[in-house]
Amino acid sequence: MKHGQEQHLVETDQDLAKNLHSFVEDTQAKLETLSKWICDAKTILWFTGAGISTESGTPDFRGPDGIWTREDKKLPPHEMMTPLEEIEPNPAHYAIVQFEKIGKCDFLVSQNCDNLHLKSGFPLEKLAELHGNINRLRCRTCNDRTFPIENFPNKMWGLNERMKRELTDACPICGGPLEDSVIDFGDSMPVHVLDTAFEWAERADLTIVVGSSCQVYPAANIPRANKKRGDRLVIMNIGETGLDDICDLRFSHEKVGKLLPKLLQMVLARLNNPPTEASSC
Ligand SMILES: [Zn+2]
């Protein structure tokens, strides 16, 4: 019996080594497939969640070690070392900026309010921030238009003051009241922002989800809206997602800060040297 157990352990180690090898090869093959899909797609929607920012040091929520997962397990929360305003974008954010520059990101929908997409240089007009932005104020009356917080001298605005919701600044366009754009639990999402996100989901024939567990609605309906039409859905997220059963390609273990720059290089290589029919995968 003991011998049998040892034998089993040895086999398990060998399996692990084999699995690790095939895992690396598997990731490479999946990236190749995705790079081809990106080159073939007419309209590409990117969709990001908290997982893209965890590599910058912002806390994750529903990941294996996320705030809410830890809460469920009765574990204490991680201490956040760096204030949110001082956190910098990581290679995944910068890669998406480059995808936009080469025409491979037609629109970006984000569940994050950490400002890292704009900080990385992503254009505001191609971005829908479903949950708002810690650095921007929203006008209630002109289509959820937002403005940089630093343009307003009112010192009441700021991370620790946001719950006050005092409407003392006026929109420079319409004169309407401005408020903190970040959505709290129980707040409804900004209608115009949500509509724009769904419009792009309808238009996209490839949707790439980065760092979202796709479990928060209605946001999670955005990648699903596209999928209903039978187009391609790719999910990069550590941990399970609500859309695992319907996605066409799944990266579930790799850090997106490593994946996206690699993917960008593959796409650039394809664009510069398109593979011939015979060698194309
Ligand atoms: Zn306004």
Domain that holds residue 214: 33-134+188-272
CA of 138 to the centre of ligand 1 (A): 8
CATH of the domain at 211: 3.40.50.1220
pLDDT band at 10 (very low <50, low <70, confident <90, very high): low
Q: Is residue 26 part of a domain?
A: no
Report the candidate in 183, 211, 185, 181 with the shortest Cα–Cα distance to residue 61.
211
CA of 156 to the centre of ligand 1 (A): 19
Question: What percent of the chain shows pLDDT beyond 90?
Answer: 44
Kindly state whether residues 209 and 118 are assigned to the same domain.
Answer: yes
Alpha helices, H only, the chain: 2-40, 50-53, 67-72, 91-101, 116-119, 191-203, 221-228, 256-272
CA of 220 to the centre of ligand 1 (A): 28
| Count of positions (residues) in the chain | 281
Q: What is the pLDDT of residues 217-274, one digit of tens each?
A: 888 889 887 666 668 999 999 989 999 988 999 999 889 999 999 999 999 999 998 7
Kindly state whether residues 51 and 156 are assigned to the same domain.
Answer: no
Q: Is residue 125 part of a domain?
A: yes
Kindly state whether residues 210 and 170 are assigned to the same domain.
Answer: no
Catalytic residues: 131
Q: What share of the chain is helix, strand, coil (3-state, %, to 5)?
A: 45, 15, 45
Q: Is residue 93 part of a domain?
A: yes
Q: What is the pLDDT of residues 109-150, one digit of tens each?
A: 999 989 999 999 999 999 999 988 888 888 878 878 898 887
Domain count, the chain: 2
Is the distance from CB of 47 to CB of 208 less than 8 angstroms? Answer: yes
Kindly state whether residues 90 and 150 are assigned to the same domain.
Answer: no
Task: Quote the longest CA-to-CA distance of the chain.
Answer: 80
pLDDT band at 1 (very low <50, low <70, confident <90, very high): very low
The arithmetic mean of pLDDT across residues 33-49, rounded, is 96
Q: According to the model, what pLDDT value does residue 160 have?
A: 44
Kindly state whether residues 129 and 141 are assigned to the same domain.
Answer: no
CA of 101 to the centre of ligand 1 (A): 30
CA of 122 to the centre of ligand 1 (A): 23
Kindly state whether residues 214 and 251 are assigned to the same domain.
Answer: yes
Kindly state whether residues 224 and 148 are assigned to the same domain.
Answer: no
Kindly state whether residues 39 and 80 are assigned to the same domain.
Answer: yes
Is the distance from CB of 247 to CB of 233 less than 8 angstroms? Answer: yes
Q: Is residue 27 part of a domain?
A: no
Torsion of CA 187, 189, 190, 196, to 10 degrees: 180
CA of 174 to the centre of ligand 1 (A): 4
Kindly state whether residues 115 and 79 are assigned to the same domain.
Answer: yes
